[in-house]
Chains A and B, each alone.
Chain A
């Protein structure tokens, strides 16, 4: 009998009108890395919130057993006392506080009520060393990138004498390098006897790191795979998650590429916050009719900055360079100009920049082209409903009707609403920034199909993505960016992950 640290038995959790978890079982062995995967809405995060006490005892049914003892957590503090710490998907650091202050937030090194700063900073330095973060503990956490903030979160967990660390999508916002570092760190923690439960959409990571994998689907436990005993491939996990075999992760597509639609020449952008910093330097790029073009790059390479600065100067200062549409130079001084010239930009952060979450589907779909539905400022609301319904059925947005509030939709369906919005502007150049971020496998496939359809309709599509397999699977041609420059360009036939990674890490000197 193996040593079991945690058992969750028959967990059932209902929200008004819906069962999020239905008799879920989870058994985690001591000192292992246990992956939990499933589509969005499968109940992964709910299960972790039950475990960590975010949903207190009594709000669910079932049993949690830690080290053979049944537990009734009334809140996070109870579970933390037992060494169970959860790190949420959205990081919870206070940007204005220092690393050390964040690590000991709520847990201050303060004998007799006064904070002992020497001890705080010394202990923080020690914790930072353990997670391999070479930063001064007094640095404000807003100066850190997402990858480093993630490490601070782990240091914070370590400070609470964590025995069971739960990470919800820890690498979702990280680039490949930072992800690799994080995964290595988790291996190191495992060797120190810390058990990890990791929720992830990135199946290659699960393959690489997990000792066992539990798959949830529609709020039920489907199976637990022992990664050491069996040969478990990504396709095997996907099959469990979606309940069907996914032959291919990417739809087949035969491109029909026509003439050049958009050309960007010598594009340079300066940072609006850091004076004098060049974010994009002399970029040249062209898109053709019916072509799906990828833009690869590590975090901070300047991909989003390039796209947003072209999209009506919605990012950056000191922008120079020229944009040609169908061979004729155009001026894009505002987002309105860009939309009028048939350019659309679907943001990488749909909740913050893409959608009005408190509004319904139809109002979001019409938001960027309301003029098309109005005469002299007067909106035809029935027509608006009809248009939105057409997109809902056409793009398979799962909602009872278009009066459903977008904030309640899953990530994949929200993304489809964003795409609908831009399709409705009749754009012929679509810039899609991380179109499948935080979306489950089944919905990703649908998004890829939509992208292919857009290309077949003669639109030029630029896909910005941090996932190389996605770019390789979807794009006809891929640009790579590094440190603000476009460092290379490959066609679909010649593209390999290694070659792209090489371009993505090239640093050219001025």
Chain B
């Protein structure tokens, strides 16, 4: 049970022992930071590990591009999944929904020859309706999400088979394949110098603009906090973090610019991550998701429309699954009956590796993306060194267990004595 140890260090003690107080809060801050940031450290370590094992192949231009493109649909699912997990639910049907929406888009584009933007729109609406169907049973009828989406997993796989028969439908229009698999064109030509040899200028400019955007927004947020008299991290640490972020972003951008420019799906992903991060951090709806997962009763008695929030979360998941469905089908250039098998488990694992709590109420979109990328790097890195698939699975399983074990451990330490 989550609770306060009534015997625990209460404020009375803190006041009485002023000397001990700074140390205590300092220690707590550190452990809270470790819990939040442990995942990024782990990500860096795993990348370093595989970079060494693969003798640098992991970070080669083409491989970085592959990493993004190969994992994009899992990452898109993970965004929806983390929201659902924060609210204290789960979605086991994501893989099947991905398959059925992929099949729908294929039927519309290939068999009915609809213009591709219209077909995509209809597919997204279908995804939303599927989410609404599941959301209705979960939110308004009160059946646990585990059961509803387990049923959904079977039902929507069955519908996929019904739509497709036992074969794939394709090929897709070029535009759709480009979204899933293609790259931004060259606008301004290449740079021909030194380490940037052959890098696309326009891509580099996008990267620089992105970095500038990060710096400006972070700087303004920090200044705003200071204006309101809130404590902020020391300037040196703040600058160091920004520099680190800039270096990481530019490294990736340069490598991509040297290969075939930005993959379109990376642009799509960046937009989604940004939008959903803002939703969870700054929008009332996002805040309500955390409140529902953190304490359903308290949320209800605070006037939060719990049912409606839950319903829309699943609608959102359906739409995201259909985006992933189109991307996946576009990438393979056909919609197949076994598409997305087990993808829901990858998305769930990404969310938990990324710091979500099993009880709900905790988690971040960026965390889930990082969790997904960790699994992506493991897959990719191990295939580069030619490891057999059973070893990949083994490694991924242990990483998932370790991530959650670390979270539980950090929580126990933070709540000393409970």
On A, residues with C-beta under 8 Å from B are: 15-20, 39-49, 55, 89-90, 218-219, 311-312, 314, 334-336, 338-339, 345, 347, 351-359, 363, 367-368, 370-371, 374, 377-379, 381-383, 385-386, 389, 398-401, 407-411, 413-414, 421, 438, 440
Known: A15-B417, A335-B303, A367-B291. A357 touches B4 (CB 8 A): yes
**B302 CB contacts on chain A under 8 angstroms:** 335, 367-368, 421
**B16 CB contacts on chain A under 8 angstroms:** 218
Supply 5 further A-B pairs (C-beta < 8 A) apart from A20-B13, A352-B298, A410-B10. A20-B7, A41-B7, A41-B13, A311-B301, A363-B291
Most buried by A among B16, B23, B304: B16
- Contact across chains for A356 and B8 when beta carbons are under 8 A apart: no
Q: Does B300 contact A (CB under 8 A)?
A: yes
Known: A336-B303, A367-B304. A382 touches B10 (CB 8 A): no
- Contact across chains for A359 and B290 when beta carbons are under 8 A apart: yes
Closest B residue to A21 using CB positions = B7
- Contact across chains for A19 and B3 when beta carbons are under 8 A apart: no
- Contact across chains for B227 and A382 when beta carbons are under 8 A apart: yes
Give the residues from 198 to 252 in chain B that come closer than 8 angstroms, CB to CB, to chain A: 224-225, 227-231
A-B contact pairs, 30 of them (CB 8 A): A15-B8, A15-B416, A15-B417, A16-B413, A17-B23, A17-B25, A17-B27, A20-B13, A20-B417, A41-B6, A41-B8, A41-B11, A42-B12, A218-B13, A336-B305, A353-B297, A354-B301, A356-B290, A356-B298, A358-B294, A367-B302, A367-B304, A370-B287, A377-B285, A381-B281, A398-B11, A407-B2, A408-B8, A409-B11, A421-B302
Q: Does B56 contact A (CB under 8 A)?
A: no
Q: Does B28 contact A (CB under 8 A)?
A: yes
Known: A335-B303, A338-B303, A359-B361. A40 touches B10 (CB 8 A): yes
| A44 CA to B10 CA, complexed, in Å | 12
Per-residue interface assignment for chain B, residues 272 to 284, with 1 indicating a CB less than 8 Å from any chain A CB and 0 otherwise: 0000000001111
- Contact across chains for B284 and A377 when beta carbons are under 8 A apart: yes
On B, residues with C-beta under 8 Å from A are: 1-17, 20-21, 23-25, 27-28, 224-225, 227-231, 281-285, 287-288, 290-291, 294-295, 297-305, 357, 361-362, 413, 415-417
- Contact across chains for A15 and B12 when beta carbons are under 8 A apart: no
- Contact across chains for B4 and A407 when beta carbons are under 8 A apart: yes
| A335 CA to B17 CA, complexed, in Å | 42
Closest 10 CB pairs of A and B: A41-B10, A17-B24, A398-B11, A45-B7, A46-B7, A356-B294, A18-B9, A368-B302, A410-B10, A218-B16
Known: A18-B14, A19-B13, A358-B361. A339 touches B4 (CB 8 A): no
- Contact across chains for A355 and B298 when beta carbons are under 8 A apart: yes
Contact of A382 among B3, B14, B224 (CB under 8 A): B224
Known: A16-B416, A363-B287. A385 touches B12 (CB 8 A): no
Most buried by A among B25, B301, B416: B301
- Contact across chains for A399 and B287 when beta carbons are under 8 A apart: no
Contact of B299 among A367, A378, A410 (CB under 8 A): A367
CB distance from B47 to the nearest CB of A (A): 30
Most buried by A among B224, B227, B291: B291
Closest B residue to A89 using CB positions = B6
| A41 CA to B303 CA, complexed, in Å | 32
| A357 CA to B297 CA, complexed, in Å | 12
CB distance from B296 to the nearest CB of A (A): 10
Closest B residue to A354 using CB positions = B298
**A46 CB contacts on chain B under 8 angstroms:** 7-8
Most buried by B among A358, A411, A421, A438: A358
- Contact across chains for A43 and B303 when beta carbons are under 8 A apart: no
Closest B residue to A42 using CB positions = B12
CB distance from A289 to the nearest CB of B (A): 23
Contact of A41 among B9, B20, B285, B357 (CB under 8 A): B9
**B303 CB contacts on chain A under 8 angstroms:** 312, 334-336, 338-339, 368
- Contact across chains for B361 and A385 when beta carbons are under 8 A apart: no
- Contact across chains for B282 and A358 when beta carbons are under 8 A apart: no
| A142 CA to B234 CA, complexed, in Å | 54
Known: A41-B8, A410-B11. A356 touches B23 (CB 8 A): no
**B4 CB contacts on chain A under 8 angstroms:** 351, 357, 407-411, 414
CB distance from B87 to the nearest CB of A (A): 13
Contact of B282 among A41, A357, A381 (CB under 8 A): A381
- Contact across chains for A40 and B6 when beta carbons are under 8 A apart: yes
- Contact across chains for A20 and B8 when beta carbons are under 8 A apart: yes
**B28 CB contacts on chain A under 8 angstroms:** 17
Contact of A379 among B2, B6, B27, B284 (CB under 8 A): B284
Closest B residue to A48 using CB positions = B7
**A39 CB contacts on chain B under 8 angstroms:** 10, 12
| A370 CA to B305 CA, complexed, in Å | 13
Closest A residue to B17 using CB positions = A19
Contact of A356 among B14, B224, B299 (CB under 8 A): B299
**A377 CB contacts on chain B under 8 angstroms:** 283-285
| A384 CA to B7 CA, complexed, in Å | 31
CB distance from B79 to the nearest CB of A (A): 19
- Contact across chains for B228 and A219 when beta carbons are under 8 A apart: no
- Contact across chains for A19 and B20 when beta carbons are under 8 A apart: yes
| A460 CA to B281 CA, complexed, in Å | 36
Known: A42-B12, A338-B303, A370-B287. A358 touches B2 (CB 8 A): yes
Closest B residue to A425 using CB positions = B303
- Contact across chains for B15 and A398 when beta carbons are under 8 A apart: yes
**A379 CB contacts on chain B under 8 angstroms:** 282-284, 287
| A173 CA to B333 CA, complexed, in Å | 65
- Contact across chains for A413 and B301 when beta carbons are under 8 A apart: no
- Contact across chains for A371 and B301 when beta carbons are under 8 A apart: no
Most buried by A among B16, B231, B417: B417
Closest A residue to B361 using CB positions = A358
- Contact across chains for B283 and A356 when beta carbons are under 8 A apart: no
CB distance from A354 to the nearest CB of B (A): 6
| A382 CA to B222 CA, complexed, in Å | 10
Known: A377-B285, A386-B228. A367 touches B298 (CB 8 A): yes
**A347 CB contacts on chain B under 8 angstroms:** 301
- Contact across chains for A18 and B297 when beta carbons are under 8 A apart: no
**B17 CB contacts on chain A under 8 angstroms:** 18-19, 218
CB distance from A76 to the nearest CB of B (A): 15
**B8 CB contacts on chain A under 8 angstroms:** 15, 20, 41, 46, 408
- Contact across chains for B231 and A401 when beta carbons are under 8 A apart: yes
- Contact across chains for A356 and B11 when beta carbons are under 8 A apart: no
Most buried by A among B362, B415, B416: B416
**B281 CB contacts on chain A under 8 angstroms:** 381
| A89 CA to B283 CA, complexed, in Å | 39
CB distance from B297 to the nearest CB of A (A): 5
- Contact across chains for B301 and A370 when beta carbons are under 8 A apart: no
| A282 CA to B84 CA, complexed, in Å | 43
- Contact across chains for B304 and A413 when beta carbons are under 8 A apart: no
| A6 CA to B413 CA, complexed, in Å | 32
| A133 CA to B189 CA, complexed, in Å | 89
Contact of B283 among A55, A311, A351, A378 (CB under 8 A): A378
**B413 CB contacts on chain A under 8 angstroms:** 16
- Contact across chains for B12 and A40 when beta carbons are under 8 A apart: yes
- Contact across chains for A407 and B295 when beta carbons are under 8 A apart: no
| A408 CA to B416 CA, complexed, in Å | 10
Contact of A359 among B5, B7, B291 (CB under 8 A): B291
**A47 CB contacts on chain B under 8 angstroms:** 7
| A358 CA to B291 CA, complexed, in Å | 9
CB distance from A427 to the nearest CB of B (A): 11
| A389 CA to B229 CA, complexed, in Å | 10
**B6 CB contacts on chain A under 8 angstroms:** 40-41, 45, 89, 410-411, 438
**B301 CB contacts on chain A under 8 angstroms:** 311, 314, 335, 345, 347, 353-354
| A42 CA to B6 CA, complexed, in Å | 9
CB distance from A300 to the nearest CB of B (A): 21
| A408 CA to B5 CA, complexed, in Å | 8
| A399 CA to B28 CA, complexed, in Å | 13
- Contact across chains for B25 and A400 when beta carbons are under 8 A apart: yes
Closest A residue to B10 using CB positions = A41
